[in-house]
Amino acid sequence: MSAWARVELGMTPQEFDSTDPRDLAALWSAWKAREQRKDFRFATIVCSIANLFRKEGSDPVLPSDVFPSLPAPVRERTPEEIAEKILSVAASFGAEVDR
């Protein structure tokens, strides 16, 4: 772990030894988020190039296709799906719903 802190965060062994576990956890989370942003930027470049040469009608290459660790895009719900969800929640709380 101290080698990781030295290489990735530039911490000295003394800084690492004096850092409490909560701060290390925060540093770890920030590092992971930074790495994910780097992955996303690189995947965006790869997708841009790959999508230039994809066959017409085929699905575009997405960053989550390049790096499965990246979140896949969320599909937007249709107004009908949203209305159905609202009615379902209302019914679960005992409301009388006309469908």
**Close Cβ partners of 42 (under 8 Å, ≥ 6 residues apart):** 66, 67
- Domain ranges (residues) in the chain: 2-74
pLDDT value, residue 85: 92
Question: What is the per-residue pLDDT across 25-82, written as a single tens digit (0 to 9) for each?
Answer: 999 999 999 999 999 999 999 999 999 999 999 999 999 999 999 998 888 999 999 9
Convert 12-23 to b/e letters by CB count within 10 Å (16 or more is b): eeeebeeeeeee
